[in-house]
Amino acid sequence: MSEQDANDKSEHTSATIYEVARRAGVGIATVSRALRGTGSVRPATRERILEAARELNFIPSRLGVSLAEGRHAANGIVFPSLTGPYFGEVLLGYEEAAAELKRSVIVVAADGLDSAQDHIRDLAGRVDGMVIYGSTAESEVVAELIAERKPTVLLSPRVLVDGPDVITAENTRSAGELAEHLLAHGHRTFTFLGGPTGGRDIDERWAALVDTLAKAGAAAPRPVPLSGYGRAEVYAAARAVLAQDPPDVLVCSHDEVALAALRVARELGLRVPDDIAVTGWDDVMAAEHSWPPLTTVRQPMRRMGEMAARALDELITGTRTGPLRQVLPTEVIIRESCAHHP
Amino acid sequence: MSEQDANDKSEHTSATIYEVARRAGVGIATVSRALRGTGSVRPATRERILEAARELNFIPSRLGVSLAEGRHAANGIVFPSLTGPYFGEVLLGYEEAAAELKRSVIVVAADGLDSAQDHIRDLAGRVDGMVIYGSTAESEVVAELIAERKPTVLLSPRVLVDGPDVITAENTRSAGELAEHLLAHGHRTFTFLGGPTGGRDIDERWAALVDTLAKAGAAAPRPVPLSGYGRAEVYAAARAVLAQDPPDVLVCSHDEVALAALRVARELGLRVPDDIAVTGWDDVMAAEHSWPPLTTVRQPMRRMGEMAARALDELITGTRTGPLRQVLPTEVIIRESCAHHP
DNA sequence: TTGTAGGCGTTATCAG
DNA sequence: CTGATAACGCCTACAA
């Protein structure tokens, strides 16, 4: 052992199966069998091998294993961006489930990168399957992935495409429920402060709002698009809406927007909810701690990540055949920003 | 081409370099050279090769490339957990910088896993280097990594070990500055509501607080440890502190704790900051939107991730020799929770 | 029970 | 300029 140690000092890379084999005085096949418990090995031999492996601090090269096994044992996930309080929760659920399924998680943030498509392609080469979150879905790369039958699941995609697995959160029912609650408070004029291009989620919420108001005989809501989610854009839009002729309710597409609106309202001297009600969507942490606490719709972010990991695993292992189309339930969270609740 | 297409239909895996070579009527070496631009190839030949590659939709296998190159072109990052608003920002900075450096990012959340150590080992086998965030640093696996000279950088470790690169955020100066600001408001009795076991960051903040108060001739702060960061623990601790004989100021180890304290204060009918001042640490999004807005210390989370990625790259490429010991500046953010500022 | 040898997909060296 | 061919590290029939 001391003799070996002398050689160890300059080694930066782990021992190979060959060295273990030589040291244990056996062939590499036997080492492989002994270490991974496949095929039988005489106890004495096994002992020697384990010993040798331990002494050499042998860890099988992932590359070698993957190459031989023909799989990566890794999942990818593509986010449009990593900003905001969202994706963290999603990733959390995804990573947890993936770990449970013995798979590593490689993450890429596609936004802002000119080379985003290349990054996604690169990712594809490192994993057995991947999930694509949100707007990245239109990309031609995703089409490629699907075309070449790379296991792929779409998480909350902006447009619903046919073929790949899709996991989304419910919008219509909860938006309707939210609208009804607001109507019940006696609110009559609605403004919807929403996302830039819309996208499926926001479209669905908008549609449900329009629908519910129409059914109740209330005036149609006023749509106010957002030119972006940057701090400046959001504040400017909120200010524009609130500065003159504010509605009874400002329904926002996201909590971040609603929180900005809350601030603007305060700056303008508008009391929430007395002068104007405000609602968000997502139930991020700040929504609970804001003043007033924000009425919103909770999305099961963590669960979305988890479901995505499981769906992907089914795809990879071939456990399931038909495409998945899962809609996770959301929950309307009533707080003080929509009205005083005695 | 039509002939080829007929064979394509059942293929799930990308073409190999051999197929490209055969199709272009050349050897694989030439294909490799042509595609990666190393060594020269006659223009006409190159054309044929590119054409063949495109037709076959050839993408070099990452596994093959990595095996041959002897590198993964990937970075790992280990978080204790993925919960909270923190790590998202850190990961964001890390991923961005890594992408810029042409490296993928594999993430693992070690907390809660019995097999965490194995996961980290597995991760180590997939990357050229890794960064370990926070408390995971004591783990024996980290010692292994360092012993076997795996490029490793410690991000905000709970204890400062010698040898590997370490990146932290400044605590002492900013905690002192915060304490002075509070003293200037006339606050005299301080309670520090802090983390479970402490850890370096919290220890440093505590020490600086003690120090500053001592210098000012004020009474020593009262330490109140937290049994954990769960919602219940934090609320219970906050309630215990505020219910009887509340101090002038409640200095909290994290924004989450401070936000909980804010709620408890309101429930107890204590006005912030009139009856009691509250401060946090981190400047998460909710801190800005809470009521009253939270006085806190902003940590450069995103930048920490970015620096980690760059430090790791230097380690991997051997650009730098000596160990890195970087302390990133923080910023005291004064809002309303510590006093009314006219 | 054990060892030999082929294969996985590249890169890079070294003769042509 | 090109093409064999040897690594790279492991897994797994197939033989013995």
pLDDT of residue A266: 94
Those of residues 287-316 in A touching chain B at CB distance below 8 A are: 288-292
**Nucleic strand D contact set for B 66-105 (CB, < 7 Å):** 67-68, 70
Q: Using the Cα atoms of residue B81, residue B86, residue B92 and residue B94 in order, give the sign of their dihedral.
A: negative
User: CA of B16 and C1' of C7: distance in angstroms?
Assistant: 13
Contact at 8 Å (CB) between B191 and B247?
Answer: yes
Contact at 8 Å (CB) between B298 and B170?
Answer: no
Those of residues 94-123 in A touching chain B at CB distance below 8 A are: 95-96, 99, 104-109, 112-113, 119, 121-123
**Do B26 and B91 share a domain, yes or no?**
no
Nucleic strand C within 7 A of Cβ A68:
yes
Q: Closest CA to C2 C1' — which residue?
A: A30
Question: Where a domain ends, among B53, B69, B85?
Answer: B69
**Do B189 and B286 share a domain, yes or no?**
yes
Strands (E), chain B: 74-79, 104-109, 129-133, 152-155, 165-169, 190-193, 222-224, 249-252, 277-279, 296-298, 325-328, 331-333
Residue B23: inside a domain = yes
**Do A52 and A121 share a domain, yes or no?**
no
- Cβ contacts of residue B282 below 8 Å, gap of 6+? B85, B86, B254, B255, B296, B297, B298, B299, B301
**Do B49 and B122 share a domain, yes or no?**
no
pLDDT of residue B243: 92
Question: Where a domain ends, among B261, B282, B299?
Answer: B299
Q: What is the DSSP string of A153-176?
A: EEES-SS--SSSEEEEE--HHHHH
Cis peptide before B164 (omega within 30 of 0): no
Q: Which two tokens stand for residue B188?
A: 């005299």
Nucleic strand D within 7 A of Cβ B122:
no
Place of tokens 């919807």: A192
Cross-chain Cβ contact A67/B62 below 8 Å: no
Which domain covers residue B16, as residue numbers? 3-69
**Do A110 and A157 share a domain, yes or no?**
yes
Q: Using the Cα atoms of residue B169, residue B172, residue B174 and residue B179 in order, give the sign of their dihedral.
A: positive
**Do B248 and B317 share a domain, yes or no?**
no
Which of B252-284 are b and which e, b meaning 16 or more Cβ less than 10 Å from the residue's Cβ? Answer: bbbbbbbbbbbbbbeeeebebbeebbbbbbbbb
**Is B200 an 8 Å CB contact of chain A?**
no
* CATH number (domain holding residue B84): 3.40.50.2300
What is the tally of structural domains in chain A? 3
Nucleic strand C within 7 A of Cβ A329:
no
Per-residue pLDDT of chain A (342 residues; tens, 9 = 90+): 333 333 333 445 789 999 999 999 999 999 999 999 998 999 999 999 999 999 999 999 999 999 999 999 999 999 988 887 788 899 999 999 999 999 999 999 987 666 788 899 999 999 999 999 987 656 788 888 888 889 999 999 988 888 889 999 999 999 999 999 999 999 999 999 986 667 899 999 999 999 999 999 999 999 999 988 888 999 999 999 999 899 999 999 999 999 999 999 999 999 999 999 999 999 999 999 999 999 999 999 999 999 999 999 999 999 998 899 999 999 999 999 999 987
* CATH number (domain holding residue A35): 1.10.260.40
| pTM value > 0.85 | yes
**Do A177 and A271 share a domain, yes or no?**
yes
Question: Where a domain ends, among B69, B99, B123?
Answer: B69
> Which amino acid, B26?
V
d(CA B272, CA B252): 14
B122 closest CB neighbour out of A104, A109, A259:
A104
Nucleic strand C within 7 A of Cβ A270:
no
Residue of B nearest to A80 (CA): B92
**If DSSP codes are grouped into helix, strand and coil, which group holds residue A26?**
coil
d(CA A108, CA A134): 13
**Is A60 an 8 Å CB contact of chain B?**
yes
User: Which strand (E) or helix (H) includes residue B45?
Assistant: helix B43-56
- Cβ contacts of residue A143 below 8 Å, gap of 6+? none
Cross-chain Cβ contact B291/A290 below 8 Å: yes
- Cβ contacts of residue A97 below 8 Å, gap of 6+? A305, A306, A308, A309, A310
- Of the candidates A17, A42, A43, A15, the one whose C-alpha atom is nearest the C-alpha of residue A29 is A17
Residue B339: inside a domain = no
**Do B29 and B114 share a domain, yes or no?**
no
Contact at 8 Å (CB) between A148 and B57?
Answer: yes
d(CA A208, CA A212): 6
d(CA A118, CA A319): 30
User: CA of A71 and C1' of C8: distance in angstroms?
Assistant: 11
